Amino acid sequence: MAQLEGVLILVVSLIGLAEGVRLTVFKEPYILYDVIGPGYYIVIISGLLFIPGIIRLLDFGKTNEHTEPGENKGMKMRVVLLFGALVLYIFLMTIFGYFPATLFFLLISFRILGVKSLITNLVGSTAVAGAYYVIFIKYCHMVLPRGMFY
Amino acid sequence: MDLINGIMNVLSPMNLLFSFIGCVLGTLVGVLPGLGTASTLSILLPITMYMDPTRSIIMLAGIYYGAAYGGSTTSILVNIPGETSSVCTCFDGFPMTKQGRAGQALWIAAVGSFIAGTFGVIMLSIIGPGIAKYALKFGPPEYFGLIFFSLTTLISLSGTSLIKGMVAGLMGLLAATVGVDNMTGITRFVFGSIAMMRGFEIIPIVIGLFGISEILTSTEEGIRKIYEGKLGKMMPRGTELKKGLLASIRGTLLGFPLGVLPGMVPALTSFLSYDLEKKISKTPEKFGTGLIEGVAAPESANNATAQAAYIPLLSLGIPTGPAMAVLLAAFIMYGLQPGPLLFQENADLAWTIIGSMYIGNVFLLILNLPLVGFWARISLIPYKFLGPAIICICVIGAYSPRNTLFDVWVAIGAGIVGYLMRKKKWPLPPLILGFILGPKLELSLRQSMSMGGISILFSRYISLVLILLAIFAAIVSLKFKRGLSSAIRPEDSDDY
């Protein structure tokens, strides 16, 4: 795991270095630059990131990994499903608008998290979505994403 | 006189109401496990955009110090800390409850918190403007030194791995460079995307890192049960009262000066205070069996630290932790810049906020003592209902600042990053503070270099002292962390 973290850190560091070098070497002709310019700072930060990336990759020193005894796969699956529902929620928001999408998301996520009774689920979702409509639209006059139905 | 004017401003009905709402919400946040202070502040922040700036900052400030009070209730009654800063309170608080002395534990926790909170606010009134006045002499090299000191200290103190803290901080600094460079107008890390040209907004990042990630993490926790025992007598008497009050004073005196330092979150000072009480006690073996000092000291320390954090925020514009960083974002959102000029240009606002803390401490004492049964029952609400409801508010919060779904996607991405960091025990505070302080750090560095090259950072004595202090603090904190007992693992802290 430390090696994977090291690889990710190195990738970010290299992207940063590439961007920093680009900004340093290829200067715009009609722009007045300060002493450092927009590139050197990024090169310094990315360069500093490179060192811990190498350390994590080679796993120098004592690794402080905490192994969780018997991780609960059921609970992990809930997290994955909840995240999936969240991504779907944002997609649906662009099509149907905030409130229909919110109602759908609440129905799905209550079910994922263990609310088995359909009536409780429906009542709870409607109550929460309704409360948000009153608070955020009617009282706060907020602008929320609109879609086909809202 | 300024303080009296500030208190008089707070005594207007609407300001009082918002201070009360902040205290109630803060206590609720403290009571509910899985709902951290920084998360709640980040979720509510965009909603307060539509309110009067003074009232919303009063309310947000109330949430912050209110959470420090509220975490003790469930720690004492059901052995479940509402906040990480209340973990120590469980060690002796729950045994006191089992002995039928829950009332005394709750009383000393509330009174100790009140003593610490009041002391903190008084010191803030005295020290804050003085520091702000001195900070008017700061130029770019001094600001670079100050931010460098803040980030280094924070990285050194968060988590037991310096490498992880350093990477998180540097990642935050790098993320802050995305978008258009303020000095030259050149785009950085946009990869041809118009949405990326606007850079990352602070609110979606905070909502994702703290709000969404906390919900994803908390869905893996179980349902809690409530303790149905009696509270017993409320006020301790005689020697017990004396011991409790003295421990509160010691906790306050320890927590307050440490709270000014970046990275010194209430969770850490509460552990330090508990450790100190054990060391100076004539009966250290009795700690963990229901000693009143074991409740009073950590609760006072965590409240004192929470109040002390306002000093660098208001007078220097430097947040000491993620919750303060969200408050800083609130100030910026309203077009205010906390720092030395706050007490000059917006003195009314600054003193009103300080005045609201006096009033807020009284509200919290009232809320925490008579309503303790109510707060304990609130913890019955299962997370399966709370979690999705909070996610919906997070989406609103991420969307509101710029009315763009790009920010919502950023929040979700930050949520995943935050979740993975929590799972793998990577510290979050350096990441968020690096992101918030990054633009200031870069600007002050570039201005300093334009003024006189790199040597100016070492030729100006304030800047030199701050840089040396940063290095010294890093070395000392490495030795200090090795000495921490295994019970204290800062990277486990969900409370920021």
Min Cα separation B99/chain A (Å): 33
Q: Which chain A positions have a beta carbon within 8 Å of B419's beta carbon?
A: 79
Residue A95, pLDDT above cutoff 60: yes
pLDDT given for residue B34 in this prediction: 63
pTM of the model: 0.79
d(CA B264, CA A6): 28
* C-beta atoms of B388 and A83 within 8 A: no
Spatial CB neighbours of A46, under 8 Å, sequence gap ≥ 6: A12, A13, A14, A15, A16, A17, A19, A20, B174
Identify the closest residue of chain A to B221 by CA–CA distance.
Answer: A75
- Rounded alpha-carbon distances, angstroms, from residue B400 to A140, B202, B228, B416, B431: 11, 12, 42, 20, 23
Of B47, B50, B216, the CB nearest to A83: B216
pLDDT given for residue B51 in this prediction: 78
Spatial CB neighbours of A81, under 8 Å, sequence gap ≥ 6: A112
* C-beta atoms of B392 and A31 within 8 A: no
Min Cα separation B459/chain A (Å): 18
Dihedral (CA of B50, B53, B57, B59) sign: negative
Identify the closest residue of chain B to A136 by CA–CA distance.
Answer: B47
Min Cα separation A67/chain B (Å): 9
Min Cα separation A19/chain B (Å): 7
- Residue A90 pLDDT class (50, 70, 90 cuts): very high
* Backbone angles phi and psi of B179, in degrees to 5: 115, -150
Q: Confirm if B105 and B96 have CB atoms less than 8 A apart.
A: yes
Spatial CB neighbours of B50, under 8 Å, sequence gap ≥ 6: A140, A141, A142
Spatial CB neighbours of B310, under 8 Å, sequence gap ≥ 6: B61, B120, B124, B128, B324, B353, B354, B357
pLDDT given for residue B228 in this prediction: 54
* C-beta atoms of A49 and B167 within 8 A: yes
Q: Which chain A positions have a beta carbon within 8 Å of B396's beta carbon?
A: 98, 132, 136, 142, 144
Q: Which chain B positions have a beta carbon within 8 Å of A122's beta carbon?
A: none
Least confident of A62-66, A75-79, A138-142, B132-136: A62-66
- Residue A28 pLDDT class (50, 70, 90 cuts): confident
Q: Which chain B positions have a beta carbon within 8 Å of A41's beta carbon?
A: 177, 442, 445-446
- Rounded alpha-carbon distances, angstroms, from residue B173 to A54, B193, B381, B439, B441: 19, 20, 38, 8, 9
Min Cα separation A92/chain B (Å): 12
Task: Give chain A's mean pLDDT.
Answer: 84
Is the minimum CB–CB distance between A140 and chain B shorter than 8 Å? yes
Interface predicted TM-score (ipTM): 0.90
Spatial CB neighbours of B470, under 8 Å, sequence gap ≥ 6: B145, B148, B149, B152, B153
Q: Which chain A positions have a beta carbon within 8 Å of B421's beta carbon?
A: none
Which residue in B14, B51, B19 sits closest to B354, CA to CA?
B19
Q: Which chain A positions have a beta carbon within 8 Å of B399's beta carbon?
A: 144-145
pLDDT given for residue B481 in this prediction: 58
pLDDT given for residue B413 in this prediction: 94
* C-beta atoms of A48 and B170 within 8 A: yes
pLDDT given for residue B82 in this prediction: 67
Q: Which chain A positions have a beta carbon within 8 Å of B405's beta carbon?
A: 90, 93-94, 145
Q: Which chain B positions have a beta carbon within 8 Å of A114's beta carbon?
A: 384
3-state secondary structure B414-436: HHHHHHHHHHCCCCCHHHHHHHH
d(CA A137, CA B241): 51
Is the minimum CB–CB distance between A59 and chain B shorter than 8 Å? no
Is the minimum CB–CB distance between A34 and chain B shorter than 8 Å? yes
- Residue A48 pLDDT class (50, 70, 90 cuts): very high
- Rounded alpha-carbon distances, angstroms, from residue B113 to A84, B124, B296, B378: 42, 16, 8, 21
3 state DSSP class of B51: coil
Dihedral (CA of B274, B275, B277, B283) sign: positive
pLDDT given for residue B232 in this prediction: 66
d(CA A102, CA A92): 9
User: Quick one: DSSP state of residue B291?
Assistant: -
d(CA B385, CA B164): 34
Of A23, A33, A132, the CB nearest to B188: A23
Spatial CB neighbours of A126, under 8 Å, sequence gap ≥ 6: A103
Of B166, B219, B399, the CB nearest to A79: B219
Tokens at B329, concatenated: 């974002």
Of A35, A76, A145, the CB nearest to B399: A145
Of A98, A124, A132, the CB nearest to B385: A124
Of A5, A38, A75, the CB nearest to B188: A38
Q: What is the torsion angle, in degrees rounded to the nearest 10, for the CA atoms of residue B71, residue B72, residue B78 and residue B81?
A: 50
Which residue has better confidence, A103 or B384?
Answer: A103
Is the minimum CB–CB distance between A50 and chain B shorter than 8 Å? no
From first to last of its 496 residues, chain B has per-residue pLDDT tens of 577 888 888 888 888 888 888 888 888 877 776 667 777 787 777 777 777 888 888 888 888 878 777 778 878 877 767 666 777 888 888 888 888 888 888 888 888 888 888 898 888 888 887 877 777 778 889 888 888 888 887 777 666 678 888 899 999 999 999 999 888 888 999 988 888 888 998 888 888 888 888 888 877 765 444 455 566 677 778 888 899 999 999 999 999 988 887 767 777 788 888 888 888 888 888 888 889 999 999 999 988 888 888 888 888 888 887 788 888 888 887 888 787 778 778 888 888 888 888 888 888 888 777 777 777 676 666 778 888 888 888 888 888 878 889 999 999 999 999 999 988 888 888 888 888 889 889 999 999 988 888 888 888 888 999 899 888 877 877 776 555 444 444 444 444 4
Q: Which residue in A17, A22, A64, A65 has the most chain B C-beta atoms within 10 A of its own C-beta, making it the best mutation to test that interface? A: A64
pLDDT given for residue A15 in this prediction: 94
Q: Which chain A positions have a beta carbon within 8 Å of B215's beta carbon?
A: 82
d(CA B433, CA B487): 26
Q: Which chain A positions have a beta carbon within 8 Å of B212's beta carbon?
A: 86
Which residue has better confidence, A2 or A25?
Answer: A25
Q: Which chain A positions have a beta carbon within 8 Å of B181's beta carbon?
A: 38
